[in-house]
Amino acid sequence: MNSDLSLIPIDRDGIPPGYSGVVPKVTAEGLRPTVRLYESVGFREPWVGYLALAGSTPVGTCAFKSAPLDGRIEIAYHTFPEFEGRGLATAMATELVAITWRHEPSVIVAAQTLPERNASHSVLEKLGFRHVATIDHPEDGKVWEWQLAPKTGT
């Protein structure tokens, strides 16, 4: 895992405050869906989107799809193509789980993936997520639901 990974919250306007580096086109394109997400579910920190940096280089984005609801929160992460295969998705997902349990230790952390084996499944399995269901998602069609139960004793 990458110990130099840091997450910068993406503000309501799609700008990560405090990041003064150049925003490559792929990064700018990755920030737009975060603004659309805020428009549909609202903006409430820490349940927001994040720009992932390795050192000072943007390497991906990750987010909570909303604030916790009914004891569950869903995460999503995306590594920019040129940085895939370096453990960054695992680092992003790890940090989102850590944020969740710092603020809501009893929440189940969920993620949804395409219903076929892929790199994201390996990320989730490394972190202890379990495939629990196949769901017919209104926008994405059939997806696999993965869940990570909260640690006991928290």
pLDDT of residue 72: 96
Which residue in 110, 103, 105, 95 sits closest to 153, CA to CA? Answer: 105
Instruction: Return d(Cα 142, Cα 67) in angstroms, integer.
Output: 23
Whether residue 22 is predicted with pLDDT greater than 90 in this model: the reply is no
Tell me the per-residue pLDDT of 69-112, one tens digit each, with 9 for 90 and over: 999 999 999 999 999 999 999 999 999 999 999 999 999 999 99
Domains annotated on the chain, with CATH: 5-148 (3.40.630.30)
How many residues are given for the chain?
154
Ranges of beta strands (E only) in the chain are: 5-9, 49-54, 57-64, 72-79, 108-113, 130-137, 141-148
Instruction: Return d(Cα 55, Cα 124) in angstroms, integer.
Output: 24
Q: What is the DSSP letter of 139?
A: T
* Mean pLDDT, residues 2-17 taken together: 86
Supply the pTM of this predicted model: 0.91
Confidence of residue 131 (pLDDT cuts 50, 70, 90): very high
